[in-house]
Amino acid sequence: AQSVSQHNHHVILSEAASLELGCNYSYGGTVNLFWYVQYPGQHLQLLLKYFSGDPLVKGIKGFEAEFIKSKFSFNLRKPSVQWSDTAEYFCAVLRRALTFGSGTRLQVQP
């Protein structure tokens, strides 16, 4: 079945550690890819998106993601996390509508 997979369900890091969250999708052809963040009690906010062009995408708050077509991946990275990055992160693919992965809960310890 076509899907979006996020293999890390819960990640715990210390402040200043580097972050990489995995996202794989199983759709063929052209895809539009997104990362959203959901802070506790808040709505989903767009971190970054990829439509075409440079496969390395810069987003808000120091986040970036790399689209690797051969691996069907769109991993999210941040060189140095902060306590305020504690949130749930969702990868999504746009087909008929946004299809989301199951999310990764990131906990950053001070």
Partner 1 sequence: NAGVMQNPRHLVRRRGQEARLRCSPMKGHSHVYWYRQLPEEGLKFMVYLQKENIIDESGMPKERFSAEFPKEGPSILRIQQVVRGDSAAYFCASSPPGSHMLEAFFGQGTRLTVV
What residues from 21 to 40 belong to the interface with partner 1 (CB under 8 A)?
32, 36
Burial class (CB in 10 A: 0-12, 13-18, 19+), 70: exposed
Sign of torsion, CA 43 47 52 55?
negative
Contact with partner 1 (CB under 8 A): which of 11, 13, 17, 98?
A: 98
Q: Does 11 bind partner 1 (CB under 8 A)?
A: no
Q: Does 89 bind partner 1 (CB under 8 A)?
A: no
- How many residues bind partner 1, per CB under 8 A? 22
Q: Does 96 bind partner 1 (CB under 8 A)?
A: yes
Return the percent helix, strand and coil in the chain, to nearest 5: 10, 50, 40
CB of 65 to partner 1, least distance (A): 16
Q: How many CB atoms lie within 10 A of CB 4?
A: 24
Q: Does 51 bind partner 1 (CB under 8 A)?
A: yes
Nearest Cα residue to 90 out of 79, 105, 80 = 105
Positions that interact with partner 1 (CB under 8 A): 4, 6, 32, 36, 41-46, 49, 51, 90, 94, 96-103
